[in-house]
Structure 1
Amino acid sequence: MLQRWPASLTWRAVEKDPTAFQSLAELLEISVEDLERLRTIWGRSFSATLQRIAHKRCRIGVRLLSGSLADYRLATRAWWDNIERVCPELNDRPVYFISSNTHSLPNLLTGFALRHQAELQQFLDRKENGDLKAEWENITSGQVPSSQENFWYYMLKKYQQTSEGRHLISGQAAAETEAGIIRVPSEHYFDVEAQRVELKKLNPAWLDPRLNDEDYTWLAQSDALILNIDYPLGMGAYNLLVKIAEHAQPILGVYIMGKAATLNGRQGDVIIPNVVQDEHSENTYLFENCFKAGEVSPYLQFGTVLDNQKAVSVYGTFLQNARIMDVIYREGYTDIEMEAGPYLSAVYEMARPKRHPVNEIVNFYNLPFDLGILHYASDTPLGKGKNLGAGTLSYFGMDSTYAATTAILRRIFKHERARLKEANK
């Protein structure tokens, strides 16, 4: 594209002439705002960098870490063996599987930050935390409609990064152990941490207020476990869930939470798909998502819940461009991510007596377990190119993440209570 830049215009003119700058943006098929961001990033090297790009041919290749299917299977088996060695009970007790992150589940289930609010308040009152103090005052006064609990979870993380707050790292680990939560760090192979939660050991008094709105004494009767993993991407999701399903039986629910790019929403929205087109298997999966908008929206402060959406599971977000996304959007797909399709291929093999098909329309019906997928919008690629990593205050990222995690945990509690009630008839 840059090679088509008119010879009559100098590269220096781009920096001084607004008309030339706009012409360059049109040549590159990007907005003036995005080109301005590049100028901010490159600074004085802006024009020189553009010249180097224009005069040097570049080839970009992607190298796989493992070269064969056998290598992936060996890595998957080693990953599971490590978990099984620490948590052998996963083999013979009911399991609810969650793919999410490693922080929201323990925070909601132990309420550790909320029980150390006084110490965190002292840290907040320090002079260097003036911006955070102002944010807290805006939250408590109602000027910012953010969750107070999310704020303290954020403050706990910040405090633990200081020398004075490091003791709370071990304190939090002890609280998690007392609540039946075991972390299994990944060793070698897949960099995917796992967490095992024993429902009967949860302390109802410790639960986040968004969960603790009913009597949970029945949890003591449960023999079920939650297996939560730090969500993998692409075919890694398929490999891991298939391996888990081979050993953990019975699986009572599969709940997927992950990031996505939205083509019709905003950052911080929560997307609930019921159609997933998978580029890996070339299948289109139709399924009844167990989550409805009304189960997420009460816990979402900033964004909107978009249900009945259509998602595309791509090989990689790096491979997408504006033209491809325009085609995707015109076909009615509004949710671009990387793991739902591979997970659904694994779900097929958990429910059917054969390997998942290729290039078919698959309609899931009468699944023997609960199935739910929640995506939180982290990027708006057809918009300004911003993402949730652009800011921390106001907790846009935490808002949608914790709303989705709350919905998942409430769903598990509801399902487990009904299961125990049925078993005791």
Structure 2
Amino acid sequence: MPMLVAFQIEWNKLHDLLDDPRLADALATADVDALPLTREVGLKLQTIWGERCGARLRAVAQHKKRFGLRMLGGSLIDYERATLRWWLNVEEHLPNIVFRQRPIYFVSSNTHSLINLFSGFALQNRSELVAYLHAQQHSGLINEYEKILAEEVPSSLENFLYYVQKKYQADPASADYFARRAAVEHQLGLHRVPSRFYVDVDTQVFELNKLDPQRLDPRIVMPGVERLGESAALVVNIDYPLGLAAYHILKLVARSVREIRGAYIIGKAATLNGKIGDVLIPNVVYDEHTDNIYNFVPAFSAADIAPYLAHGSVLDNQKAMTSRGTFLQNAAYLDALYRDFFTDVEMEAGPYLNAIYEQTIAERYPTSEHISLLRPPYDLGFLHYASDTPYSKGMNLGARNLSYFGMDPTYATSLAAARRIVAQEIYRMERGV
């Protein structure tokens, strides 16, 4: 949808510029210098369209775009049915795990950081990853690696290796490496469940009692970590959804397991008072879907993130706003938010909180209410890392990919969640609860 909306907006902007009979000759010859376009835009269009540039410019000049879309199933029942089939796929993929008998920690993040922290495979195979860099002559990354070893930069060696591993995956020569990784993950009870057909959200399930303390990322090792072998808990980690999918997923997962012991939501956000790479920790969320405002005590504080964040800042006690979509936010709207001290704009906290409300109160979530979740049914925390700064023109992921430095906030937030889970389970095992 965002791509179609963007396409229509840009097409119609060009149409308004080119819909002029006086430009007929320039359009016929594809003379972009004679058109009311900046030289930069004209050169980009010539580069993208090549020989077809003239024909496409004439098509743009002739008519406006107005797309019409038909949804394939749009009722509440359709969404719930799709979510149910998504979860049944997880259960069928892991027949030896009886979810209704196991407590879980629910994490909404990505499909690479947590599993890397728990498996430690990249750290165990450091020499192979460094050899890959030299073989491919990645001079920039080799230089960064040498600076990390010499302690000339604050970057983390572990994060660096995770990044290299991700690049290595695109190399056909890495097939054996990733086959070995899959075998080790299976041995450690780290399961990947790809999405099939229904909700486009991949899932990972981690069995805490199968983890090897010797393989864990050293930053999540703490006194008593060996007690994880006594834990029956699972970590259910999903590739973070957007919007109402978050509500349906958490609601269904809560009904399908013995209990949820913690919910930790990690994802990207736009910041109105920070910079790209900062981490935002909200304790207030305004949900645009329901007009609800939620207050809660977050499981995380700046002290949980700061030791692992090398290149950004941690902003806690933030007020977040869950948006229906990025195209609905204009400058005036963002300015109104900022005047009300809302500084964190994202797309899933509200739906997750609506699902948690229904696990706390014996009724459906309300609308247009101020809701206190100061005593939620389980440990709860949101961690957002800034990928967009709407107040700074062009400073967003479209213009500046987080790339290598994006590993810094991604792993700082994932480490906080992993450490929270490990600490909670050690506490339970030591006290027999």
Alignment: residue pair count: 408
Task: Specify the alignment match of 1:404 in structure 2.
Answer: 413
Q: What percentage of residue pairs aligned between the two structures are identical?
A: 47
> For 1:208 and 1:243, how far apart are their aligned partners in 2?
31
Taking the aligned partners of 1:392 and 1:259, their CA distance within structure 2 comes to: 12
**Are residue 85 (structure 1) and residue 88 (structure 2) matched?**
no
Distance 2:160 2:216 in 1: 16
Match of 1:231 in 2: 240
Deviation digits for residues 300-334 of structure 1 (CA, Å, limit 9, x no counterpart): 11111111111111111132222222222222111
Separation (CA, whole Å) in 2 of partners of 1:187 and 1:44: 38
From 132, 155, 160, give the equivalent of 1:146: 155
SS of 2:384 mapped into structure 1: strand
Q: Note if contact 2:282-2:298 (Cα within 8 Å) is conserved in structure 1.
A: yes
Q: What code does the residue aligned with 1:121 have?
A: V
Instruction: Please tell me whether residue 254 in structure 1 is matched to residue 257 in structure 2.
Output: no
> What is the aligned partner in structure 2 of residue 27 from structure 1?
none
Distance 1:391 1:300 in 2: 19
Query: Structure 1: 5+ residue runs without aligned partners?
Result: 25-34
In the other structure, the counterpart of 2:225 is 216
Report which stretch shifted further, 138-147 or 309-318. Answer: 138-147
2:343 corresponds to which of 321, 334, 340: 334
Separation of aligned partners in 2, 1:390 and 1:140: 31
User: Any residues of structure 2 matched to 1:16-415 within 5 Å, and which?
Assistant: 38=41, 41-42=44-45, 56-60=63-67, 64-87=71-94, 88-126=97-135, 128-388=137-397, 395-415=404-424
Per-residue Cα deviation, 1:118-170 (whole angstroms, up to 9, x for no partner) = 11121111253222212222333344321111111111122232222111111
Cα distance between partner residues in 1 of 2:299 and 2:43: 45
Shift of 1:37: 7.2
**Structure 1 partner of 2:4:** none
AA at the equivalent of 2:272? L
Q: Distance in 2 between matches of 1:390 and 1:142?
A: 30
Q: Tell me the alpha carbon deviations over residues 347-404 of structure 1, each in whole angstroms, 9 at most, x when there is no partner.
A: 0011111100011111113222100000111111210323346567872211111100
Q: RMSD of the alignment, in Å?
A: 2.9
Report if the CA contact (8 A) 1:135-1:393 is conserved: no
Residues 37/352 of structure 1: CA separation in 2 closer, same or farther (3 Å cut): farther
Alpha-carbon deviation of 1:241? Answer: 0.6
1:63 positional shift: 5.0
Give the Å deviation of 1:187. 1.2
C-alpha distance in structure 2 between counterparts of 1:64 and 1:124, whole Å: 46
Q: Which residue of 1 aligns with 2:5?
A: none
| Contact 1:132–1:393 under 8 Å retained in 2 | no
SS at structure 2 position matched to 1:252: strand
3-state secondary structure, aligned to 1:205: coil
Q: Tell me, what secondary structure is at the counterpart of 2:291?
A: coil
Residue 418 of structure 1 deviates from its aligned partner by 1.8
- Cα shift readout 1:57-103 (whole Å, capped 9, x = no counterpart): 33355654432112111101111111122334221111110011111
- Helix, strand or coil: the match of 1:296? helix
